[in-house]
Amino acid sequence: MCGRYAASADMQEIIEELDVDLDRTGEPSRSILKKPQDPPAGSPDWNMAPTKQAPVVLTRRPKGEDVASADEGAAGTAPADPARQLRLLTWGLVPSWAKDPGVGIRMINARAETVLDKPAFAKAAATRRCLVPADGWYEWQRSPVAQDSKGKPRKQPFFIHRGDEAPLAFAGLYEFWRDPAVADGDDPAAWLTTFAIVTTAADPGMDRIHDRQPLILDEDRWTDWLDPDLTDPGHVQEMLEFARPGRFAAYPVSTAVNGSASNGPGLVEPVPVEDLVGVVDPETGEVIGG
């Protein structure tokens, strides 16, 4: 967890829901995909998978933008205030010290319990935190009674989302990786910007599907999470421990989501109860179709 999620909102919806100041999604950015992303980056995507570029909200000072400083006079400039930006980042965090970007596929998630101690995530957790807008996420439940054709526990995909329809955003971390093979530091190809989704223990009930879930902060915590100047480890740890059980609902969906090439709103449609085999109801614990 979390290895797939749905993100169908268009960029304007995200800008409005997450109070974004600057839309940077139209700027050139490096991708690690060998083929064009499908659907294109920035388009509604009901099967967001690692290595894809996804919309991410972060707060930084706009590069190269200064404002007049009252202390220095009209001729002087000072760094612009940090601005909440919407950007397209690659899912799978690549630390700045990595020798190549291939390590990112192993770093799509960062555990909230250890993120401040892990060399790959610690600096990002201190100053480079982000929000990843989503409709919800997919998780696969192992059946306690049904087996697949190979004799292993049958896996049923679920779609998990906010039951109150409030805006949902995963807590994330982002990082910059400089490609030493590109001499010009101003070339967009010289930099790869990546992110990881922070995960935590699953809420009661949701743990009948999987024992982990994304860390999802409510709107009243977004500003602090995004603040690059909020670096106190104690405060960061407090945000990492955020939990409000009861916000999420879940239902089984088609195994079509198993294939990363599958897409479209049909992926989040519920599966009829009569089609379920050995599935545990996350609310009641009852086995359906056993």
Rounded average pLDDT over 197-211 = 97
Q: Read off the tokens for 59.
A: 């707060």
For residue 80, what pLDDT band results from cuts at 50, 70 and 90? Answer: confident
Residue 64 has a pLDDT of 59
Q: Give the residue among 128, 109, 98 at the shortest CA–CA distance from 231.
A: 128
How does strand 5-7 pair with strand 45-48? Answer: antiparallel
Residue 141 has a pLDDT of 97
| Number of other residues whose CB lies within 10 A of the CB of residue 143 | 20
For residue 240, what pLDDT band results from cuts at 50, 70 and 90? Answer: very high
Query: How many residues would you count in the chain?
Result: 290
pLDDT digits (tens, 9 = 90+) for 84-143: 999 999 999 999 999 999 999 999 999 999 999 999 999 999 999 999 999 999 999 999
Rounded average pLDDT over 188-203 = 96
| Number of other residues whose CB lies within 10 A of the CB of residue 213 | 21
Rounded average pLDDT over 41-46 = 97
**Worst-scoring range by mean pLDDT, 35-44, 84-93, 131-140, 183-192?**
183-192
Higher pLDDT, 79 or 225: 225
C-beta separation of 131 from 56 below 8 A: yes
Catalytic residue numbers read 2, 139
Distance in angstroms (rounded) separating the CA atoms of residues 200 and 146 = 28
DSSP percent split of the chain into helix, strand, coil, nearest 5: 20, 35, 45
Q: Read off the tokens for 289.
A: 């179709």
Name residue 200's amino acid: T
For residue 77, what pLDDT band results from cuts at 50, 70 and 90? Answer: low
- Mean predicted lDDT score pLDDT of the chain: 93
Rounded average pLDDT over 223-236 = 96
Residue 158 has a pLDDT of 98
Give Cβ neighbours of residue 286 (< 8 Å, ≥ 6 apart): 280
Rounded average pLDDT over 200-222 = 97
| Residue found under tokens 């388009």 | 43
**Worst-scoring range by mean pLDDT, 2-6, 37-41, 208-212?**
2-6
Q: How many CA atoms lie within 13 A of 129 on its CB side?
A: 29
For residue 185, what pLDDT band results from cuts at 50, 70 and 90? Answer: confident
| Residue found under tokens 């010009």 | 184
Rounded average pLDDT over 60-83 = 61
Spans of all domains in the chain: 5-141+167-245
CA distance to 27, 163, 254, 267, 273, per residue, from 276 (Å): 45, 22, 10, 16, 5
> Would you say residue 75 has pLDDT above 80?
no
pLDDT digits (tens, 9 = 90+) for 244-287: 999 999 999 999 999 999 999 999 999 999 999 999 999 999 99
Residue 72 has a pLDDT of 46
Q: pTM of the entire structure? A: 0.93
The domain 5-141+167-245 belongs to what CATH superfamily? SOS response associated peptidase-like (3.90.1680.10)
For residue 76, what pLDDT band results from cuts at 50, 70 and 90? Answer: low
Give Cβ neighbours of residue 17 (< 8 Å, ≥ 6 apart): 9, 133, 167
Q: Give the residue among 92, 51, 48, 54 at the shortest CA–CA distance from 260.
A: 48
> Would you say residue 152 has pLDDT above 90?
yes
